[in-house]
Structure 1
């Protein structure tokens, strides 16, 4: 269940999930800073350039995917029925997402954002979250592409759960990693590759990152003396896949990010228990959803008024953090509690 930053910070015994959640907050902040510095400069241009450009901040998305692999597998291991998982994910994702669509659509049209505005029909199409894959509908906000990836991952994991094959997850992951390698070498050497839609549905581009997260969870939560060898093998194959299909840098980055998640999962990143990081973790999802197009609109407005670049970035960052905090407190957490309470009450009534 969602907990407020205050509740998390005051708990005398802090679980490893607090550090994992705080790490998600750090990842979200990295993406935000990337969009407000390097990406904004690429699209619109700063005058003058910012003092610091967070050009590597977009790798926070890769950290998101590792964390999702960890958390989703853990959630399913503790789930008794498929509908429990569906309600859990729906209550977590959709209320804040729908709110973000409305706010982003209204504020970007009010403030203006050249080349990024969508019409009302497109905004309605975004409500399903996998609109790009199903209907090729443009995103209200560019960051929504990652939500499609996450949702496809959830569906795949739920499918394994329904088939009672969670225990065989390593076989599935190794098969998908092998398929990505075969597709890569087939395309490079013979011009043969999977149809793009199939490649996307199987999320082969990102499967190594999810595989790392699942492997970390299984390695740190072995039940009944379960062997560490399957998760170690899967993680090694994920790194090897990234090395062969992308680059040494990406493979090294994957090792570094996976190490952070591993340390957090074992309670070794005590700094992340600080109130600041706990708060960042609590607001990370709304912050990620709301920051990009709204932030860029504000940056352009402040830049037009002659506000210095660094001051503009700080003001927009503060606004995004405040807006995300408000959405967390008044939309995300109340909606999550209401949906899950109604679901539990309905189950109790049915009995």
Structure 2
């Protein structure tokens, strides 16, 4: 699944950079993030199928998220300082109430609250709920060091639920129905305006759950010819690249959902080294690209979009080489629990990289 994850991360980059003449923004930001949620559900179901140790599961997931986040945050902080727009100084000088400054500092340091910042305004009277991003007068999210990081607390909420929900089909179906009902309620109350369109965790849970349910199809997918898996991969790639020409975004969602177990069964198990590397670095591309796009013009001048994208990908590879050993170290020191031997056998036989490396 490395190629798919890389293209989805690249789509997020293009959505923020402005797109390229030939391929546009590909899947764009919203659709790509929701596809990442589906892939995350699939891989978390896979991990939990071979490991009953909740402590190990939580340790691995949290270390993966935070190691990359902190490395990308350090890079973004340096870039903001070089661009003479130090985020810490900007928060200090901002005409915001103390509660808003505290939320900004805490979410930038510890991630939690990055999603909440999208739903609150901060006039001088204090934090207050806002029905849309466009109606905010003092947005807290303007002071986010890594704007795309809002999706990571959402992902962490999914991880907290996963050991209790993903092993039971009735629980998954019940939660899926509840998530769909909440999405219908928010649609009736707020429409599709941001941030309700795709940033509200209870609504986004449906994508994570249908991804987890698709994992149950792997045995059936394995029985099909290998050619089907390769066709599924090329179809998914085509849907991501040609997304802007599709009549409905749901064609991408359904295509990725159907293709995932087929690709896993027939392609990922025999995947190439390039596929693994691109999948590994996709998370860092997602995290660091905004610092390049936002601050590079103030440092060296505005490069062409294509060059900015290439620079962002190159920096992501370099930062991944820092985050990966940090992730391993955090897993070693954060918990003394020993992984279930079944989990180790599963990862050696079935995983080409840590399955928790999706967004």
Normalising by structure 2, report the TM-score: 0.64
- The answer to whether residue 74 in structure 2 is matched with residue 102 in structure 1 is yes
Q: Within 1, Cα distance between the matches of 2:290 and 2:281? A: 15
Q: Give the aligned length.
A: 276
Give the CA deviation at 1:221. 4.3
Secondary structure of the 1:204 match is helix
Q: Within 2, Cα distance between the matches of 1:342 and 1:23? A: 32
- The answer to whether residue 16 in structure 2 is matched with residue 35 in structure 1 is yes
Which residue is equivalent to 2:107?
A: 125
Structure 2, unaligned runs of 5 or more: 93-100, 121-139, 221-245, 339-359
Secondary structure of the 1:249 match is coil
Give the CA deviation at 1:285. 1.1
Residues 179 and 204 in structure 2, CA contact (< 8 A), matched pair in contact too: no
Which residue is equivalent to 2:59?
A: 87
Which residue is equivalent to 1:251?
A: 250
Give the CA deviation at 1:126. 1.9
- The answer to whether residue 336 in structure 2 is matched with residue 337 in structure 1 is no
Which residue is equivalent to 2:218?
A: 220
Give the CA deviation at 1:287. 1.3
Residues 8 and 27 in structure 2, CA contact (< 8 A), matched pair in contact too: no
- 92-101 or 204-213: bigger deviation: 204-213
The Cα offsets for residues 320-339 of structure 1, whole Å up to 9 and x where unpaired, read as 22222122222x22122223
Which residue is equivalent to 2:133?
A: none
Give the CA deviation at 1:269. 7.5
- 112-121 or 295-304: bigger deviation: 112-121
The CA RMSD measured in Å over matched residues stands at 3.7
Give the CA deviation at 1:22. 3.5
Residues 14 and 25 in structure 2, CA contact (< 8 A), matched pair in contact too: yes
Residues 53 and 327 (structure 1), Cα distance of their counterparts in 2 relative to 1, 3 Å cut: same
Give the CA deviation at 1:114. 11
- The answer to whether residue 306 in structure 2 is matched with residue 314 in structure 1 is yes
Give the CA deviation at 1:108. 2.0
Which residue is equivalent to 1:140?
A: 145
Give the CA deviation at 1:177. 4.0
Which residue is equivalent to 1:244?
A: none
Residues 253 and 112 (structure 1), Cα distance of their counterparts in 2 relative to 1, 3 Å cut: farther
Q: Within 2, Cα distance between the matches of 1:124 and 1:114? A: 16
Which residue is equivalent to 2:349?
A: none
Residues 80 and 149 (structure 1), Cα distance of their counterparts in 2 relative to 1, 3 Å cut: same
Q: Within 1, Cα distance between the matches of 2:184 and 2:308? A: 44
More helix by share: 1
Q: Within 2, Cα distance between the matches of 1:303 and 1:146? A: 30
Q: Within 2, Cα distance between the matches of 1:51 and 1:220? A: 35
Which residue is equivalent to 2:35?
A: 63
The Cα offsets for residues 100-153 of structure 1, whole Å up to 9 and x where unpaired, read as 112112202322569999537634532222213557553212111111221121
Which residue is equivalent to 1:179?
A: 181
The Cα offsets for residues 246-287 of structure 1, whole Å up to 9 and x where unpaired, read as x971332311222332332222579x9444443211211111
**Which of 151, 161, 164 is 2:156 aligned to?**
151
Residues 322 and 264 (structure 1), Cα distance of their counterparts in 2 relative to 1, 3 Å cut: same
Q: Within 1, Cα distance between the matches of 2:5 and 2:89? A: 28
Residues 180 and 203 in structure 2, CA contact (< 8 A), matched pair in contact too: no
Q: Within 1, Cα distance between the matches of 2:27 and 2:68? A: 27
Q: Within 2, Cα distance between the matches of 1:169 and 1:301? A: 51
Residues 116 and 338 (structure 1), Cα distance of their counterparts in 2 relative to 1, 3 Å cut: closer
Structure 1, unaligned runs of 5 or more: 1-19, 39-48, 223-246
Which residue is equivalent to 1:227?
A: none
